[in-house]
Amino acid sequence: NAGVTQTPKFQVLKTGQSMTLQCAQDMNHEYMSWYRQDPGMGLRLIHYSVGAGITDQGEVPNGYNVSRSTTEDFPLRLLSAAPSQTSVYFCASSTPRRDTQYFGPGTRLTVL
Partner 1 sequence: GNSVTQMEGPVTLSEEAFLTINCTYTATGYPSLFWYVQYPGEGLQLLLKATKADDKGSNKGFEATYRKETTSFHLEKGSVQVSDSAVYFCALAPFGNEKLTFGTGTRLTIIP
Q: Return residues touching partner 1 (CB under 8 A).
A: 4, 31, 33, 35, 40-45, 48, 58, 90, 92, 94, 98-106
CA-to-CA distance for 84 and 111, rounded, in angstroms? 8
Catalogue the E-assigned strands of 38-86: 43-51, 54-57, 64-66, 76-78
- Counting DSSP H helices and E strands in the chain, the numbers are 0, 11
Least separation in angstroms between residue 11's CB and partner 1 is: 16
Least separation in angstroms between residue 59's CB and partner 1 is: 8
CA-to-CA distance for 102 and 64, rounded, in angstroms? 22
Least separation in angstroms between residue 80's CB and partner 1 is: 27
Nearer to partner 1, 30 or 72 (CB): 30
Nearer to partner 1, 14 or 39 (CB): 39
Nearer to partner 1, 78 or 104 (CB): 104
DSSP 78-106: ESS--GGG-EEEEEEEE-TTSS-EEE---
Least separation in angstroms between residue 44's CB and partner 1 is: 8
